[in-house]
Amino acid sequence: MRARGRTVFRTGLKWATAVLAGGVLLSAAAARAGDGTVALTFDDLPGLSLVPDQPYVNYLNDMLLRGLKRHRMPATGFVNESKLDLIDRPQQIANLQKWVDAGFDLGNHTFSHESPDELGGVGYILDIARGETVTRELLAARHRRLAWFRHPYLETGFPEAVKLEINRWLDTHGYRVAPVTIDADDWEFAEPYDDALSRHDEARRLRIRRQYLAYTERTVAWYQSASEALFGRRIAFVMLLHATRLNADCIDDLADILKRRRLKVVPLDRAMKDPVYRLGDPYVGHDGVAWLERWAEARHKDLPWDSWQDPPKDIVDEYDRTNNDRRDTTPRLAPVGR
Ligand SMILES: [Zn+2]
């Protein structure tokens, strides 16, 4: 999931010196390359759930995959292999297998979902290597290669030496970093949604779902306007989502939102052909910021922050309360593998 640094991503950034060549990005060819496309990525496989219950996690995977197939939306799932042993290992692996069987790609999201700030460069690299064992085998059985890496919390390493050490290891082991260019904070809605479900509070569940969908539509539109402000066009986006019951239940509505925003869903490797991704990642700092923010700072440009909205306050409060309540009163229902 992404929980760290949400409120600080517009201030206090420390930047490596980076010179970005912008001219090519405004060309007509580049505009056509990305026009109206988005790649969907789902983090924290085989499931981000407040409820450590194997049937619950199996169900959300089944519904998510069924919905993605129904709408012909390709997706890439990013795995935390530490989650395999948290419930029932064979069934957790079977959930990953379902993604591969559905023709979807899997990537590495580290073993334990820790930050490089916590583990240091060497520890973080060990955690990446430890996180690929099962995923690599599942892909190899289909003659496919493990090619993608996504940083937990979008924290890419600080200071610069640590970031470079991690990037060098990823390069030499055949990984590409999967950037994020749309992030609608779905994780923050997902745990209150799980909580409402587990308490059979139907009115609350439906209210959270409505708020989530409204927030997602507004946020997708904001990233489209941010892309236009920064590059004069809409890039091929990469959207961050999580493998949650909320997204499983909302997948038809999410498909509708993307249609209304004129975004055709494409595989990650196709979206990454947009030349904007050749800009790489100029940001060096502690915060988990998404890529348009990284590029905007490096180009000394503003994004349209006047029209940005954080998730609704009641959702933020519910997220905090849900986590505190669970920790204080119901340890058996502690969050799974966050
Ligand atoms: Zn994550």
Q: What is the pLDDT of residue 20?
A: 42
Q: Which helix (H) or strand (E) holds 78?
A: strand 75-79
Tell me, what's the pLDDT at 52? 87
Q: Distance from the CA of 14 to the center of ligand 1, in angstroms?
A: 23
pLDDT reported for residue 11: 37
Q: List Cβ<8 Å contacts ≥24 apart for 318-327.
A: 318/192, 318/195, 318/208, 319/188, 319/189, 319/191, 319/192, 322/50, 322/191, 322/192, 322/195, 323/191, 326/50, 326/195
pLDDT tens string, the chain, 338 residues long: the values are 554 444 334 433 333 333 344 444 444 444 454 569 999 999 999 999 998 899 999 999 999 999 999 999 999 999 999 999 999 999 999 999 999 999 999 999 999 999 999 999 999 999 999 999 999 999 999 999 999 999 999 999 999 999 999 999 999 999 999 999 999 999 999 999 999 999 999 999 999 999 999 999 999 999 999 999 999 999 999 999 999 999 999 999 999 999 999 999 999 999 999 999 999 999 999 999 999 999 999 999 999 999 999 999 999 999 999 887 765 443 333 333 33
> Is the pTM above the cut of 0.85?
yes
pLDDT computed for residue 123 by the predictor? 98
Would residue 76 be called left, alpha or beta, if left means φ above 0 and alpha means ψ between -120 and 50 degrees?
A: beta
What pLDDT does residue 35 have? 63
C-beta of residue 15 within 8 angstroms of C-beta of residue 298: yes
Question: Tokens 């950034």 — which residue?
Answer: 13
Rounded-to-integer distance, Cα 195 and Cα 215, Å: 19
338 C-alpha to center of ligand 1: Å?
7
State whether residue 283 is helix, strand or coil.
Answer: strand
Q: How far is the CA of 183 from the centre of ligand 1 (A)?
A: 12
Query: How many whole angstroms from its chain centre is CA 259?
Result: 20
**Cβ pair 177, 231 in contact under 8 A:** no
List of domains in the chain: 34-183+236-299 (3.20.20.370)
Cβ-proximal residues to 172 (8 Å cutoff; 6+ apart), any chain: none
How far is it, in rounded angstroms, from Cα 159 to Cα 200? 46
For residue 61, how far is its CA from the centre of ligand 1 (angstroms)? 16
Residue 71 alpha carbon to ligand 1 centre in Å: 24
Residue 1 C-alpha to ligand 1 middle, in angstroms?
Answer: 3
Cβ–Cβ < 8 Å for 121, 161: yes
Secondary structure class of 23 (helix, strand, coil): helix
**Helices assigned H by DSSP within the chain:** 28-34, 54-70, 89-101, 116-130, 133-140, 160-172, 186-198, 202-231, 245-260, 268-271, 291-298, 313-329
Q: Which residues make up the environment of ion ligand 1, defined by Cβ < 5 Å?
A: 1, 43-44, 152
Of 198, 155, 130, nearest to 335 (Cα)?
A: 198
**What does the angle CA 186 – CA 196 – CA 209 come to, to the nearest 5 degrees?**
40
The answer to whether the beta carbons of residues 301 and 72 sit under 8 Å apart is no
What is the greatest pairwise CA distance in the chain?
A: 58
Cα gap 109→115, rounded to integer Å: 11
Q: What is the pLDDT of residue 51?
A: 85
Calculate how far, in angstroms, residue 208's C-alpha sits from the geometric centre of ligand 1.
21
3-state secondary structure of 260: helix
Q: SS3 letters for 2-63?
A: CCCCHHHCCCCCCECCCCCCCHHHHCHHHHHHHCCEEEEEEEEECCCCCCCCHHHHHHHHHH
How far is Cα of residue 107 from the mean position of the Cα atoms in its chain? 11
Residue type for 25, please?
A: L
Distance from the CA of 158 to the center of ligand 1, in angstroms?
18
Tokens of 8: 């600080």
28 Cα: distance to centroid of ligand 1 (angstroms): 35
Side chain identity at 128, as an amino acid letter?
I
How far, in Å, from the CA of 113 to the mean position of ligand 1? 6
DSSP 321: H
User: Is-contact 223 181, C-beta < 8 A?
Assistant: yes
Assign 317 to helix, strand or coil. Answer: helix
